[in-house]
């Protein structure tokens, strides 16, 4: 009975129906119900993602074979034989080539990465719900929101439901469009309903957590970039 | 069925009552989602079928070889009109040809799944992506339209904006014909372009009408609310590109 009603609430939340947010906010144990929704969505995504990766692995040639073919192809090109006349080029080229393929190994489909995604996908979704929820709670309260933390997290869990569309990735190469924006608008509506915020304030409460994270990442990226270029300059 | 056909014809001929009925229907976004999936499937099923049949009939080696010959012809034509040194021409042409040969060898490498299964999976991926692809652009654009429409005095909700805005996807269904039109010799490309243009113009007209009905705005304001997101996104893209270029230039200057 509980599962059925949770399913109905989730589907109503997926399609931004007011009843979903009202149900979630009014039911006791909103945090627990929200946690259950996020875990179920995460498990669906983990499972479909793992099957998708396995299918991708089965329909992609072996990475070592592709790597050898590419190396053979590149070294047969006329520019290579021209460049290879300089002493250190061949060794440096091989080193650079191997480094790139070590990076590519992380993205190449494999049974290992399929198993890993089975665990990491639900975890990432949970961590995102907690962190985004915390920042959104702080901004919503600063903007005059009234919801308790439990109700806030419970209602906000409905914004994780659109992620279920990414289950299409069970077929390698299939993509669902706009899931991020669907979830963002869901967050806006959840914050508006849970905290009783006017539209403009709810908008900022939904957007500012992303702005904060982006600014923080931009700041760190700038510092890293300038440190790196200063090091390169210093080394000269 | 008759009522649905009437409603569809009312929407395609921009009748206000048809838009109002859609706006005031319960679960408007749920209905819109179903509509978008149906239109996406109509577009996708033709595209997926054409790609799948083509892949079964033409081995990848043949497709790559045809592309290679076409590209090499283009390179030769380009070099004929320029004054690049002969040695550079030789190296460039030969490297290009070797690149395609490399692609041919990779396409011929064995996979665990047999080739027919891989082709079917690719067709299914096209179909699914098409079914769930239309909603992405609509969500982004409707979100921005909603902001501009509300700032102009509009009264509609985001659910209504996305829900009624989804009607603009209906004319896109005629683009399902384009993979078939493409096959027609000589006139195919021109017909494809014209069908695409017609679908876009019709979709914009429906989207403007939808925005006017959802927010209770006159056509002029609704058109402004529809155009402003495009201008905003364009400006944002230019500003971001400039920032990235400035950052790269600054980083190079520091390193130098």
Best B52, B86, B140 residue to mutate vs chain A (most A CBs within 10 Å): B140
Residues A46-100: tens digit of each pLDDT: 999 999 999 999 999 999 999 999 999 988 888 888 888 877 888 889 999 999 9
Q: Does B109 touch chain A (CB under 8 A)?
A: yes
Q: Does A165 touch chain B (CB under 8 A)?
A: yes
Residues 111-140 in B contacting A (C-alpha not used; CB under 8 Å): 111-113, 117-118, 121-122, 124-125, 128-129, 132-140
| Nearest partner of A119 among A53, A165, A26, A31, judged by Cα | A53
Residues B33-87: tens digit of each pLDDT: 999 999 999 999 988 998 899 888 887 778 888 888 888 888 888 877 777 787 8
| d(C-alpha B46, C-alpha B40), whole Å | 10
Residues of B in contact with A70 (CB under 8 A): 102, 106
Residues 151-180 in B contacting A (C-alpha not used; CB under 8 Å): 158-159, 162
pTM for this entry: 0.84
* Tokens 């493409």, residue located: B182
Four-CA torsion B29, B150, A129, B140, nearest 10 degrees: 60
| d(C-alpha A178, C-alpha B145), whole Å | 16
- Answer yes or no: is pLDDT of B185 > 80: no
Residues of A in contact with B133 (CB under 8 A): 175-177
CB contact under 8 A, A62 and B109: yes
pLDDT at A122: 95
Q: Does A182 touch chain B (CB under 8 A)?
A: yes
Whole-number percent of chain A with pLDDT over 70:
97
The single-letter DSSP state of residue B27 is S
Question: CA A148 → CA A20, A31, A188, A196, distances in Å?
Answer: 18, 10, 17, 12
- Burial class of residue A11 in the structure, from the number of CB atoms within 10 Å of its CB (0-12 exposed, 13-18 middle, 19+ buried): middle
Best B123, B157, B251, B253 residue to mutate vs chain A (most A CBs within 10 Å): B251
CB contact under 8 A, A175 and B98: no
CB contact under 8 A, B99 and A73: yes
Across the interface, of B29, B136, B251, the residue whose CB is closest to A225 is: B251
Provide the number of CB pairs (under 8 Å) joining chain A to chain B.
Answer: 128
Which residue in A has a C-alpha nearest to residue B247's C-alpha? A222
Which is more confidently placed, B73 or A234? B73
| d(C-alpha A198, C-alpha A18), whole Å | 15
Which tokens go with A30? 């909103």
Residue A173 CB-half CA count within 13 A? 17
Mean pLDDT in residue range A35-42 = 96
| Nearest partner of A192 among A69, A22, A11, A23, judged by Cα | A22
The single-letter DSSP state of residue B132 is T
Q: What is the CA radius of gyration of chain B?
A: 24
Please give the distance of CA B174 from its chain centroid, rounded to a whole number: 13
pLDDT at B119: 92
SS (H, E, C) chain A: CHHHHHHHHHHHHHCCCHHHHHHHHHCCCHHHHHHHHHHHHHHHHHHHHHHHHHHHHHCCCCHHHHHHHHHHHHHCCHHHHHHCCCCCHHHHHHHHHHHHHHHHHHHCCCHHHHHHHHHHHHHHHHHHHHHHHHHHHHHHHHCCCCCCHHHHHHHHHHHHHHHHHHHHHHCCCCCCCCHHHHHHHHHHHHHHHHHCCCHHHHHHHHHHHHHHHHHHHHHHHHHHHHHHHHHHHHHC
CB contact under 8 A, A74 and B159: no
Which is more confidently placed, A39 or A84? A39
| Nearest partner of B42 among B175, B168, B135, judged by Cα | B175
Mean pLDDT in residue range A145-169 = 95
CB contact under 8 A, B139 and A178: yes
Mean pLDDT in residue range A211-219 = 94
Residue A62 CB-half CA count within 13 A? 7
CB contact under 8 A, B137 and A189: no
Q: Does A77 touch chain B (CB under 8 A)?
A: yes
| d(C-alpha B163, C-alpha B166), whole Å | 5
Mean pLDDT in residue range A24-50 = 93
Which residue in A has a C-alpha nearest to residue B160's C-alpha? A16
pLDDT at B245: 92
| Nearest partner of A109 among A68, A51, A67, A54, judged by Cα | A54
Which is more confidently placed, B246 or A79? B246
Other Cβ atoms within 10 Å of A93 Cβ, number:
16
Residues of A in contact with B143 (CB under 8 A): 181, 184-185
CB contact under 8 A, A77 and B98: yes
The single-letter DSSP state of residue B169 is G
| d(C-alpha B162, C-alpha A226), whole Å | 43
Q: Does A226 touch chain B (CB under 8 A)?
A: yes
Q: In sequence order, which residues have a C-beta less than 8 Å from that of residue B38 and are 6 or more positions away?
A: none
Residues 45-104 in B contacting A (C-alpha not used; CB under 8 Å): 90-91, 94-95, 98-99, 101-102
Across the interface, of B112, B128, B251, the residue whose CB is closest to A174 is: B128
The single-letter DSSP state of residue B87 is H
Q: In sequence order, which residues have a C-beta less than 8 Å from that of residue A202 and are 6 or more positions away?
A: A140, A188, A189, A191, A192, A195
| d(C-alpha A182, C-alpha A161), whole Å | 9
Percent composition of chain B: helix, strand, coil (DSSP 3-state, to 5): 85, 0, 15
- Answer yes or no: is pLDDT of A103 > 70: yes
Q: What is the CA radius of gyration of chain A?
A: 24
* Tokens 């309903």, residue located: A193
pLDDT at A148: 95
Residues of A in contact with B139 (CB under 8 A): 178, 181-182, 185
Mean pLDDT in residue range B5-10 = 81
Helix, strand, or coil here: B47? helix
pLDDT at B18: 93
Q: Does A55 touch chain B (CB under 8 A)?
A: yes
Across the interface, of A16, A17, A55, the residue whose CB is closest to B121 is: A55
pLDDT at A1: 43
Confidence band (pLDDT; 50, 70, 90) for A234?
low
The single-letter DSSP state of residue B109 is S
* Tokens 């004319």, residue located: B171
Residues of B in contact with A188 (CB under 8 A): 158
Across the interface, of A61, A74, A185, the residue whose CB is closest to B109 is: A61
Please provide the average confidence, as pLDDT, over all residues in chain B.
Answer: 89
């Amino acid at each position: 009975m509980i599962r059925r009603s949770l399913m109905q609430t989730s589907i109503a939340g997926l399609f931004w129906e007011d009843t979903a947010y009202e149900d979630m906010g009014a039911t006791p144990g909103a945090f627990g119900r929200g946690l259950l929704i996020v875990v179920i969505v995460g498990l669906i995504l983990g499972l479909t993602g793992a099957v998708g990766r396995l299918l991708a692995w089965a329909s992609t040639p072996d990475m070592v074979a592709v790597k050898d073919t590419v190396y053979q192809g590149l070294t047969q090109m006329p520019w290579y034989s021209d460049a290879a006349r300089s002493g250190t080029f061949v060794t440096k080229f091989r080193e650079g080539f191997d480094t790139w393929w070590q990076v590519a190994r992380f993205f190449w489909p494999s049974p290992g990465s399929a198993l890993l995604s089975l665990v990491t996908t639900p975890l990432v979704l949970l961590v995102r719900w907690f962190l985004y929820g915390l920042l959104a709670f702080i901004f919503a309260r600063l903007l005059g929101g009234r919801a308790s933390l439990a109700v806030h997290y419970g209602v906000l869990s409905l914004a994780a439901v659109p992620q279920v569309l990414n289950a299409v990735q069970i077929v390698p190469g299939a993509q669902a469009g706009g899931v991020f924006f669907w979830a963002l608008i869901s967050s806006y509506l959840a914050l508006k309903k849970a905290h009783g915020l006017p539209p403009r304030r709810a908008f900022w409460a939904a957007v500012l957590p992303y702005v904060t994270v982006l600014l923080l990442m931009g700041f760190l990226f700038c510092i890293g970039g300038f440190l790196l270029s200063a090091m390169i300059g210093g080394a000269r | 069925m008759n009522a649905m056909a009437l409603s569809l014809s009312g929407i395609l001929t921009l009748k206000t009552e048809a838009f109002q009925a859609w706006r005031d229907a319960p679960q408007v976004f749920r209905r819109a989602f179903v509509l978008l999936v149906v239109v996406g499937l109509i577009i996708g099923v033709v595209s997926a079928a054409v790609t799948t049949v083509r892949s079964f009939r033409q081995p990848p080696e043949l497709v790559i070889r045809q592309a290679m010959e076409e590209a090499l012809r283009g390179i030769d034509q380009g070099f004929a009109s320029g004054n690049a040194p002969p040695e550079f021409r030789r190296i460039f042409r030969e490297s290009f040809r070797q690149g395609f040969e490399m692609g041919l060898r990779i396409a011929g490498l064995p996979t665990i799944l047999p080739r027919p299964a891989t082709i079917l999976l690719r067709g299914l991926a096209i179909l699914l992506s098409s079914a769930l692809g239309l909603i992405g652009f609509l969500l982004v654009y409707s979100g921005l339209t909603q902001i501009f429409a509300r700032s102009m005095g509009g009264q509609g909700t985001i659910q209504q904006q996305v829900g009624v805005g989804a009607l603009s996807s209906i004319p896109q269904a005629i683009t399902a014909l384009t993979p078939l039109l493409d096959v027609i010799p000589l006139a195919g490309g021109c017909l494809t372009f014209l069908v695409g243009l017609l679908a876009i113009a019709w979709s914009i007209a429906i989207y403007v009408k939808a925005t006017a009905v959802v927010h209770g705005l006159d056509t002029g304001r609704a058109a402004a609310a529809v155009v402003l997101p495009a201008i905003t996104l364009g400006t944002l893209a230019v500003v971001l590109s400039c920032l990235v270029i400035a950052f790269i230039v600054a980083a190079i200057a520091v390193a130098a």
